[in-house]
Amino acid sequence: MNNNIKAKKKFGQNFLHDNKVLENIIEVSELDKDTLVIEVGPGLGALTKYLCKYAGHVVCYEIDNDLINPLKVTLSEFNNYEIINEDILNIDLKSEIKRYNKYNKIYFISNLPYYITTPIITKILNEAPFVTRYVMMMQKEVGLRLTGEPKSKDYGAITIMLKYKGNARIMFDVDRKSFTPAPNVDSCVVRFDLYDYKKYNPLDEELLFKLIRASFIQRRKTLVNNLSTVYNKDFINKMLTDNSFNLNVRAEELSIQDFIKLADYIYNNK
Ligand code: SAM
């Protein structure tokens, strides 16, 4: 790591220095020169330089102005990248990525800033349907949540959104000593591949997403309690009874198919 750079906690800066981990990320990403990579948080370029070597082009978004010059130094032997010195959460990805329509595949690969893991993933899921693969370093606990099954404590709204759109799995764990400074949590790399067909067919997709979000507002509450902030309580009780669910059921007990069944019921009965 560049000795003059002090990592900024507020930007989630933990720089990867372990070449084996970087090689493993590249291996599980299965890149080629037909691939455009979007990277959030290139930092000092540890991962970016591998991405430039193996992908066709890399577009990276870095919030920290102080890292841009050192990053350019790291990448000096490459010319297939663009650095955008912005907060990823303020970017209109759809219009920015339009320029790169010659690439057959668009992947999102990032050693994520952990403090905004869910907002970044949610943004890309909602705004960038052209991204077909995500390879992301994240906190182990969050990786478990994203890949969890119903009834596990790690299952949440974003887990179901991912299950609806594709297949997420933890590829490998990463020791905290692989970073400078070492974070005080364990990490893992998750790969998420979008289905290349429509697996589920709810009657109204927006309604389904609204239902899922509302169901998990407070994990400890029952589904009835969470949903009664959005729908009439008698209606929810009738919906659960008509669909043979217990009135005390919690969102974490429901599968994606269960949520579709309930969303279709609301669509047909509202
Ligand atoms: N990719 C580098 C590596 O692997 O060593 C750095 C990863 S570090 C965990 C996260 C990076 O995300 C930092 O460089 C940080 O400045 C950047 N970052 C944090 N918040 C950001 C945001 N909102 N938009 C873009 N980049 C951000």
Cβ of 252 less than 6 Å from ligand 1: no
Nearest atom in ligand 1 to 11's CA:
19
Q: Are residues 87 and 212 in the same domain?
A: no
Q: Are residues 124 and 92 in the same domain?
A: yes
Alpha-carbon distances of 172 from 22, 136, 181, 193, rounded to whole Å: 12, 11, 20, 16
Q: Are residues 166 and 242 in the same domain?
A: no
Whether 199 maps to a domain, the answer reads no
Q: Are residues 140 and 212 in the same domain?
A: no
Q: Are 145 and 155 in contact (CB under 8 A)?
A: yes
Q: Are residues 56 and 183 in the same domain?
A: yes
Whether 2 maps to a domain, the answer reads no
Q: Are 173 and 186 in contact (CB under 8 A)?
A: yes
Q: Are residues 69 and 126 in the same domain?
A: yes
Last residue of a domain, one of 194, 213, 237: 194
- Site to probe by mutation for ligand 1, drawn from 5, 9, 10, 11 as the one with most ligand atoms within 8 Å of Cβ, is 11
- Site to probe by mutation for ligand 1, drawn from 6, 25, 40, 138 as the one with most ligand atoms within 8 Å of Cβ, is 40
pTM, full prediction:
0.93
Phi, psi of 140, rounded to the nearest 5 degrees:
-55, -45
Whether 42 maps to a domain, the answer reads yes
Last residue of a domain, one of 169, 194, 219: 194
The residues with which 180 forms a beta bridge, in sequence order, are: 15
Last residue of a domain, one of 194, 223, 252: 194
pLDDT score at 2: 59
Cβ of 11 less than 6 Å from ligand 1: yes
pLDDT score at 156: 86
Q: What is the CATH number of the domain that holds 214?
A: 1.10.8.100
Q: Are residues 155 and 100 in the same domain?
A: yes
Whether 248 maps to a domain, the answer reads yes
Cβ of 148 less than 6 Å from ligand 1: no
Whether 4 maps to a domain, the answer reads no
Q: What is the CATH number of the domain that holds 88?
A: 3.40.50.150
Q: Are residues 129 and 228 in the same domain?
A: no
pLDDT score at 127: 93
Output the CA 32–ligand 1 centroid distance in Å: 24
Q: Are residues 21 and 114 in the same domain?
A: yes
Q: Are residues 230 and 264 in the same domain?
A: yes
Domain hosting residue 42, numbered range: 9-194
How many domains does the chain divide into?
A: 2
Whether 1 maps to a domain, the answer reads no
Whether 148 maps to a domain, the answer reads yes
C-alpha closest to that of 194 among 224, 164, 151, 155: 164
Nearest atom in ligand 1 to 179's CA:
5
Q: Are residues 81 and 124 in the same domain?
A: yes
pLDDT tens, residue order, the chain (270 aa): 555 788 999 999 999 999 999 999 999 999 999 999 999 999 999 999 999 999 999 999 999 999 999 999 999 999 999 999 999 999 999 999 988 889 989 999 999 999 999 999 999 999 999 999 999 999 999 999 999 888 877 788 899 999 999 999 999 999 999 999 999 999 999 999 999 999 999 999 999 999 999 999 988 899 999 999 999 999 999 999 999 999 999 999 999 999 999 999 999 998
Q: Are residues 97 and 231 in the same domain?
A: no
